[in-house]
């Protein structure tokens, strides 16, 4: 496993691999790996001949006052973890390498970026779409792997890749969870013991929705009310939103049918946590 800091160097590595007929997989991350990241890397490892992980804490997707400076970083630990699952390269550029002075071009996925997390983090998905487009240009892989945990991000990236004609297959990977159901996240380290315990209620509220759907409930407001009830009585959980919407355009659903996404976000202590479940309803 090798760490590459320069765009030109990683681009050459990928070009050469592809000219030898090798299939290249890319896993974009912000580092501080956990089992969720490793799952993406394993999937890329089993599908592809060459696996590149990008590790870049992207300033463009943080708003002023968010946790850019505090975001956990540990390249040595990350390198060991990536090595353990057979990653070939980590692309770990400095901020100046990605955004040299004078940078002023941004990618905006208009409709999908404004609701849900976009409402609470204006500009966030502009930063995400911009950095992922740049990563795709620097590393024109054959396949790129993203977690379903960040469902809105995945929808934005699918749209961006299609709209800008990137010839890269976007692969969504299922959410990896802690034993009590909490979705794994680099931000979970911000949680104190009490917060960590209560944070599992987010998953329980999604399970409540899942169980209601399984027994035939189709009314979004009834499901939302039950989810809110599951979280009530836990003042540590400051709910931002529960969205019940279609899974492609993320438009609010009244009666559930077809591809449905139920997603939520909450602040728990210093951590902003998100989670979701997707359903295919007859």
Please say which residue, 210 or 257, places its beta carbon nearer to ligand AMP.
210
Strand partners, 265: 241, 274
Contacts 24+ apart (CB under 8 A), 161-167: 161/136, 163/109, 164/107, 164/133, 166/133, 166/136, 166/140, 167/140
Kindly report the number of other CB atoms within 10 A of residue 20's CB atom. 9
Helix axes 124-138, 7-19, angle to 10 degrees: 50
Residue 264 Cβ, how far from ligand AMP at the closest point, in Å? 15
Residues 92, 243: Cα–Cα separation, whole Å? 34
Give phi and psi for 11, each to the nearest 5: -60, -45
Query: Strand order in 237-246's β-sheet?
Result: 237-246, 258-268, 271-281
Would you call 103 a catalytic residue per the annotation?
no
3 state DSSP class of 100: coil
- Could you tell me whether strands 143-147 and 50-55 are parallel, antiparallel, or unpaired per DSSP bridges? unpaired
Polymer length of the chain: 282
Residues that bind ligand AMP (CB under 6 A): 29-30, 36-37, 39-40, 146-147, 149-150, 173, 175-176, 183-186
Name the active-site residue from 34, 37, 103, 124.
37
Residue 18 Cβ, how far from ligand AMP at the closest point, in Å? 22
Residues 166, 162: Cα–Cα separation, whole Å? 6
Please say which residue, 39 or 92, places its beta carbon nearer to ligand AMP.
39
Please say which residue, 37 or 159, places its beta carbon nearer to ligand AMP.
37
Please say which residue, 16 or 180, places its beta carbon nearer to ligand AMP.
180
Residue 61 Cβ, how far from ligand AMP at the closest point, in Å? 9
Give phi and psi for 182, each to the nearest 5: -60, 130
Please say which residue, 46 or 222, places its beta carbon nearer to ligand AMP.
46
Cite the active site residues.
37
């Amino acid at each position: 496993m090798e760490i590459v800091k320069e765009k030109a160097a990683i681009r050459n590595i990928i070009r050469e691999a592809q000219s030898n007929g090798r299939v290249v997989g890319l896993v974009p991350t912000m580092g501080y790996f956990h089992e969720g990241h490793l799952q993406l890397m394993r999937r890329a490892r089993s599908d592809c001949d060459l696996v590149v992980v990008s590790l870049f804490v992207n300033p463009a997707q943080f708003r002023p006052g968010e946790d850019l400076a505090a975001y956990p970083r540990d390249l040595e630990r990350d390198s060991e973890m990536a090595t353990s699952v057979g990653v070939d390269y980590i692309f770990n550029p400095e901020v100046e390498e990605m955004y040299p002075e004078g940078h002023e071009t941004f990618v905006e996925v208009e409709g999908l970026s404004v609701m849900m997390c976009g409402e609470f983090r204006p500009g966030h998905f502009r930063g995400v779409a911009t950095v992922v487009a740049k990563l795709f240009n620097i590393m024109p892989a054959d396949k790129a792997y993203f977690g379903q945990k960040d469902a809105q991000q995945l929808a934005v990236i699918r749209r961006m890749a299609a709209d800008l004609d990137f010839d890269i297959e976007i692969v969504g990977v299922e959410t990896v969870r802690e034993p009590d159901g909490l979705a794994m996240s680099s931000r979970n380290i911000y949680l104190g013991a009490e917060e960590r315990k209560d944070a599992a209620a987010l998953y329980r509220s999604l399970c409540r929705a899942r169980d209601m759907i399984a027994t035939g409930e189709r009314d979004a407001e009834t499901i939302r009310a039950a989810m809110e009830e599951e979280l009530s009585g836990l003042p540590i959980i400051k709910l931002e939103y529960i969205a019940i919407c279609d899974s492609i355009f993320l438009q609010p659903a009244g009666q559930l049918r077809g591809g449905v996404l139920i997603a939520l976000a909450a602040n728990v202590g210093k951590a902003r946590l998100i989670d979701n479940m997707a359903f295919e309803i007859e």
